[in-house]
Structure 1
Amino acid sequence: MLANLKTYWRCDAWYFLPAVLVFMVAMALPPFPLFEDRASGMLQLHLLLELFAVIVAILIVVVSWHDIKHQSRPESGILLAGFTVVAFVDLVHALTYDGMPRLVTESSTPRAIFFWLAGRTLVLLTLLLVALRLRLQLSRYLWLGIAIVSSAALFWLGTWGMDWVPTTFVTGSGVTTFKRNYEYGLFIGYVVLALLFVYRAGADNRQRSFAFASSCLVMAMGEIVFSNYKAPSDFLNIFGHVFKIVSYAFLYQNVFVLAIRQPYEALRKSEGRFRALTELSVDGYWEQDRNFRFTQVSQSFNGMEMQAMLGRARWELPVLGVSPEQWQAHRAQLERHEPFRDFVYQVEVAPGKVRTLAANGSPLFGEDGEFLGYQGVGRDITEQLAAEKRIEFLAYHDTLTGLPNHRLLQEQFTQLTAQSLYPEARAALLLLDLDNFKGINDILGHDSGDALLREVARRLRAKARDVDVVSRQGGDEFYVLMPGLRHTDDVALLASALMESLQEPVMLGGQEIVTSASMGVAIYPDDGGDLETLRKKADVAMYQAKQAGRNTYRFFDAAMNVEAFEHLSLRNGLHRALERSELALHYQPQFDLSSGVVIGVEALLRWRHPERGLIPPARFIPVAEESGLIVPIGVWVLGEACRQAMAWQREGLPGLTMAVNLSAVQFKRGDVEQSVLRALEESGLSPQLLELELTESILIQNAEGVLASLKRLKQIGVKLSIDDFGTGYSSLSYLKRFDIDKLKIDQSFVRDLGKDEEDAAIVRAVIQMAHSLSLKTIAEGVETEEMVASLCRYGCDEAQGYHFARPMPASEVTEFLRRAVAEPVCTPLNQPA
C-alpha cells in the first residue's frame, strides 16, 4: 500500500494539483453571489455546465458500449450502466433547477438537489464496483436495461415521491444539515474509494487505477465545496460543478485510454512486431487479392524486390521448375478457394541466381463469406534442399573420395543383379588393397595418404566401365562391382588395367611415389549369391594375392577358402590361447662342443590346442606376426623364460644362458627394450644370462631405432645373436654396428653336412668369418654324429639339435641337466688342423 502511494504521488498526483489549488482558494474566499441577476446568467451557466457533464457521461457510455473487449473486461458493463443513469439524472437535475421551465412538475431547488445527490451517489457506487473488480458477466443490452429501469425509478421518486426524501434546502437558510452531512459522507466515500484504487493497483493496471483515484479525489473536493454554499447563486455552487466536470474528464480519459487508445496502441505495436518478425523470419509473409495478385510481401520472402512482385500473380513471376500441368492444378486449387501447402517452385531472383521456394496459403473470406483473396507464408528452402542432398550424399558416399560406400554398393548390387539383361549374365566383385599404403601414410603423413586415396579413386573411376560401381569401404580398400559379365576374361582385363594404372607414379609431398595393389576377385553367382558372401571370398583371394608377392590378382577358388578358414581359425584361437594357458615354452639345451657342457637353452614356443592338439610353430607364428598378436605373446615369452631360468638357479643348477627369439613385428609394434627390462626386473635374472636371438630382417628395418635400443641393452650385459644367419641379407656392416656376440648357422646348411660340398663351404666360411670378427658360432639342427664331426673340423663353438637333446618342457630339462655328464664332444681326431 505504501509503495503504491509513493508511486502514485510521484507519478500521477500532479495531474489534479491544479484542482487542489483552486479548491484551497475557493474555500479561503468568503461566500459571494456570482450573478446578481440569477435569471440572466446563472441558469444559462448552470445548464451549460451540466450539459457538458452530461455529454462527458454520454461519451463514457458510448465508449463502454463499443468496447471491443467488454465481455472479458467487466468494468465496461458497469460503467455503461452506471453512467447511463448518471447522464439521465444529471440532465434531469439541470432541467429541474430552480428557475427552469416546468418539466412534468414545477422546478425547485430541493428536487434539483435530489437528482444531484442521486447522480453523485451513483458515480460513487459505479466506481466502487469497478474498484472491487466484480466479475459480473452480463450482456451490454442487459446492462442498458438495468440502467433504463433505474433511471425511471429515480425519475418517479424525484418527481412524485419527494415527500419520502429528507429536506435538503431551506430558502433563506441554505442547505440543511442532512444535505451537508450527506455531502460529507460522499466526500469520505470518494476518499476511501481513491485509497482503494491505489491499494489495488497492480503492475498491469497501475495507470488506470491511479486515474480512477484522481477522479475520486477531485470528486471528493467538489463535495466539500457543495456542502458549504448558502444560496444556489453562490460561486461555490459553480465551482462544485467545475470539479464534477474535471472528475468526469478524468473518468473519460481513463475509459477512452482503456477502451480505445490502448487497444489501438497495442494493435499498432503488434503490427510493428509482426512486420519486424516477418522481415527477420526465414518465413516470408504474403497476401493476394481475389485475382491472386500479390498485394503485400515481406522483404524476406524470396530475395526479389518487393515492387517486382506486387500486382503480379505467382505464375507471372520468372518461375522455373514448374510444369504446365502443375500450374494448371495449382490454379484450379486456387479457383476452388482451397488451402495449399508446400507448393515448391523456383524463382530467378537475379541473372543466374535461382532460389527454391515453398509456399503455404489459406483463403481469406469476409464476414458475409465473400472470397477476398489468399494469405500465407513462403520459405526459401534453397539451403535446406542443398543440405538434404548433402546429407543424403554423405549417407551413401565416402566423404574422402566421393565414391559409393558399403550401403550404396549393397543397394546397387541388389538392383544390378535384379536387372540383368540375360539370365546367364554374371557379375564380378573386385577387392583392391594397396600394398604399401601404411608405409606411405606413416612416412609422408595423413594428408599425403588422403591425397593418394583420392588419386587412386580417380584412376579407378577412369578405368572402370560406365556400368561398373567403384566403391571405397574404408582405409585403403576399394571395391569394383562389374555387372552383366559373360566372360571372366573381362574381369582379368579390367584387373590388369587397374593394376597398370595404379603403378603410374604420383606426386605426394613433393616426392614421386609409386604404389601397387593386390586384388581378389569373386564371381556372382558362382562364388555367392549375396554381396557379403562375395566380399568375404574376394577378401580370401586378395589375401592369396598378397601371399603371392603382391601387385597381382587372384580369382577365388574352393582351396583358398579352406586355407582362409584355417588361417582365420588359427587367428581366433590365438586370441584366447594366452588367457586359457594353451601356450607353453619348451627348452632345447645348447652345448659347448669343446667341453660337452650345457651352456644354455633356447626357449621355443609351443601351442597345445584343446581340440587340434600340438600345432607346429611354423603354422601359427606367421599368423601371430601378421595379426600383431606376437607382441603380447612375445612379452609373455620373455617373462616366462627369465622366470624359469631363475627357477633352475634356485634349484641349485648352474646358471644357463637363456636364448629368446624376437620377431621384427615386436620391434615395429611393441617396446622390446621395456619388455626385456621388465622381465629381468621381475624375475631377478642377471642380464648376462639373457641372449636375444634376432633375425637379419630386424637389423635391416628401422636400423637406427633398433640400434639405439640394442645398444642400451648391450650396456647392461644382454647378449645378442643373429638367428638363421646366411638365409637373409647377410650384410657384414650390421655385425659391427650392432655389436653381435654370436652367429647361429641355419639348419638348412647343417642338414647336408658331409653330403653337400656347397653347404660345407658356406658353414666353413661363416665360422671363419665369425672367428675373424671375434664372434662365436652355434649350429642348429644337429642330428647325426657325422654333422658333429664336420662342425668340429670347421671349428664351430656350440651346437644344438636332436643329436644332443630334443626341446623339452621345463620339468624334463631339470632332470636332463641333473643327469648330464660333461664329456668333450670334439676329440683330437676331429679337431681342425
Structure 2
Amino acid sequence: MTHTPISRTLLTRVHISHRQTLLPLLLLLTGMLLVLLLFMLMPPPLWLQGQANYLPLHMLLETLAIVAAACIFAVSWATHKRLGTHNLLILACGFLVVALLDFSHMLSYQGMPDFVTPADPEKAIAFWLAARAVAALSLLWVAFASWQTLSQRHWRWTLLSLGLLLTMAVHGLILGLPQHLPALFIQGQGLTPLKVGMEYALIGIHILTAWRLWQLMRLAQKFNASALFAASLAMAMGGFCFTLYASVTDHFNLLGHVFKVIAYGLLFRGIFIEGVDKPFNELAQSRAKLQATFDAIPDMLFELDQQQRVVNFHPAADSRLQLSPESLLGKTPAALLPAQALHVSKLALEQASKAGFAQSPPFVWQGEKRRLWLQLSAAARMINGRTDGHVVLVRDVTELKAQEERIIQLAHFDSLTGLPNRTLFEERVNLSIHLAQRQNSSLAILFIDLDHFKHINDTLGHTAGDALLCAVAERLGNNLRDEDTLSRQGGDEFVLALPGADAAGAAHVAQRLLDSMAQPIQFADNTTTITASIGIAIYPMDGVALGNLMQHADAAMYQAKALGRNEMHFFTSNLQERMSRSLTLENALRGAIERNELSLHYQPQWLLPEQRLVGFEALLRWQHPELGTISPSEFIPIAESSGQIIQLGEWVIATGLQQLASWQQDGHSDLRLAINISAVQFRRMELVVRLAAALHAHQLQPGCLELELTEGVAMENPVHASQQLKVLHDLGVRLAIDDFGTGFSSLAQLRHFPVDTLKIDRSFIEYVDTDNSSLEMLRSIIQLAHNLSVDTLAEGVETPSQLKVLSELGCGQIQGFIWGKPQPADACTRYLQQMA
C-alpha cells in the first residue's frame, strides 16, 4: 500500500504498533469528511423528503446503532471479567445506557406510535442528547484514565446499577416532567441555539478525546487506541451533522445517523479485536508454540485419562525408544512398562493426584538392543478442583545415571540459582559458629520465604517461577557481603547466614533485603513485584546449634507471615530490647566525632628481652554524656553494620598519627604506633593512598606505623588479602596479624603474607602457666613465627609467671596490664617524660 506524504507524516508521529491499523482508519475518516462536504454542497434528495420515506431508514440505522452499542456492552463486560481493566467496565456500562437511550429515542421519533407519551421531535432529541452525552463522556474517561486493573470486583455491579439508575432517571425526566426541559427544536424553524450549542459541546468533547488518544498513540498501549481515535472523530463529524438539519427528516439528519453507526462499529471492532479476536489468535499461537515445544523436547509425553489410559502421546525429539502413537493410544501403564517399573509409576501417579506433581526414581527399561534408565514425572490435570487425568513425562536418564557419582561430589550448589545448597550451607555455618564461639562473637540466621510464590507458578507456570527464583537469588546476593552465605533450601525458601552480625546488624540487612524486594523485578519476559517474610535468630542467644537456629528462624518467619507478610520478625522478644539498644547506639554514634565524645587510649608494647618500650597500641574509647562509657565490643560491630566504621577508622588513624608525631617531636623518635583496621577498611582500594597522605601530613616514616588486622579478615579472601598486604608492605608500613590462633589459617597462605608480627591471642596466655596444652600451643605458635622470620607479640600478659614462660619460649614482645594499662594520651606523655 502506498502512503501519501500527509499519511506518512502522520504515521511517523505514532508508535509503530499503531501504524498498521491507523492508516485504513485515516482513509475512512477522510472519505467521511469528503461525503460531509459533498452533502453540504448538494441539495437534499427528493426521495428522502417526507416522514414516510425517512422513518424506515431511521429505524434501520438506529437498530444497527443499538445492536452495536449492545455488542460493545457485552464484549466489554465479558472482557473486563477476564482482565479486570476498569476502563472496559466504564465502556460496558456507558454503552448499555447508550443502547437503552437510543432505543427510547427510536421509539420517540416523529411518526412512531406513542411511547408512554406521544412521539415528537422534542422528546426524541432529549433521548438523543442524553445518549450522545453518555457516549462522549465514556470515551473521554477511557482516553484520560489509566488502563489499570480494578481489583474490587463489586465495582462491576455497582457501576452497572448506577448506569441503570441513570437510565431510569433520564426516562423519568423526559417522559414524566417534559415541561421542565428547555426547548430543543421548533417546528418550522429547526434547532434551537441550546440544542446546537450542546451538539457543539459534545463535538468538543469528542475532539478532546481524539487529541488525547493521538497523544497516547505515540507509545505502545494495552488497548486499541487507533479504533477509539477513529470512533471519536466519527462521532464528532456525526454531531456536526446534527447541528445543520432544519427538519428531522432531511439529509444531514440521515448522514449523522450513518456516521453514528460507523462510529459505533469502529468502537465495537476495536473492543472485539482486543477482547476476543486477539486472545483467540494468541491462544492459537500459544497452542502452536506448545506443540512445537512438545515436538522438540527430549522427553516422551503421555496424556492419561481418569482410567490411566493413554489418550495422547508425543514422542521424544531424539529417543532411543522406537514408539509410535498408534501403538500406545488406549493402553495403560501396565501394558507399556516393565514389571519392575509398575510399582514406581503407580506411586508417582498416586502422589501426583494428591500433591499435584510427583517424580519417580529412575527405573530400568530393557530394550531389544540396550538397557536404558528412565525416569517418570507426573502432574495431575485438574478441572474444577478434581483430577481429570495426568500428564506424564518420561525422560531418558541413562547418561545422568552414569554420572551420578560425579554429580554427588559436585552437588554443593543449587542447580537452579547457583547458590550454596543445604549441605554446603551447613558446612559453612557450622564453621562460622565455631569461630563465633572462639571469638565470643555473634551470628545471625535469616530464614527468607517468598510471599504468594505459588500464585506465580499457578498463573505463569513453573518455568516462569524458576526464572523468578533465579532473579530473586541474584537480587538478594547483590545486597550481601562477601563473608555472608545465602542458600536456597528448596522451593521458594532461602536461608542467610551473617557472621559477626548482632540483632541490629541483622535488622539492617533484613530491612535492606525487604526494600530491595519491593522494587519491580524482571524475569522470563515478565515484570512483577514480590515480597518476602523474614525470620531472624541470633547465635548464641537463640541457640548454639545450627538445627536450633534454623528451627527458631523458621518459626519467626511464620510469625512474620502471620503479621501480614512483607515483614521481619525476631525469634525472642528480648531481642527487641537489644535491637532498640543497638539502634540507640547507632544513632548516638552519628556525630560522636563532632561532639568530641571519642578518644584514644594507648597501651604500651614492650620488647621482652631488653624490657624496652617500643610503642603503643591505639584503642578507641567512647564516653556518651547520657549512656556513659560504651564498650568497643558493643559499638564497633554497630559501626561496621551501619557503615560508620570508615569514618571512625580514618579518625583513629589521623588522631593516632598526630599524637605519635607529637611524641617523636618530644624526642621519642623510635616509638611506633599500632592501629587496628576493620575488614571494611582493609577491602577498600584507597586505603594505601589515605595512609600515605596521613603519614606525609604528619611527617612520619611509614615504618613507625603498624596496622593490625585479624586472622579472619586476612583469610577471608586470601588472594585479595595477599595483594593488599603486598601494597601496604611496599609502602613501608609494618603489618601484624591480630588474635592469631583463633582462626583456621592456611599455613601455605600465611607463608606468602608479608607480615611483620603475629599477635598471640590472650586466650593462649591466660592459662599458660597452669595448663600444659596451652603451653604447647603457645610454643608451637612462637616456633612457627620463628620459622617464618616473623616477630611475636603476646597480648593480655598480667602475671610474672606468664611473663617468665613467654621469656623462656622466646616471645619477642608483650602487651598487658603487667607493664601498662591503656591510658589517655596525656598520661602516656607524662610516663614517657618520667622514662627519659
TM range, smaller chain: 0.3 to 0.5
Larger radius of gyration: 1
TM superposition score normalised by structure 1: 0.44
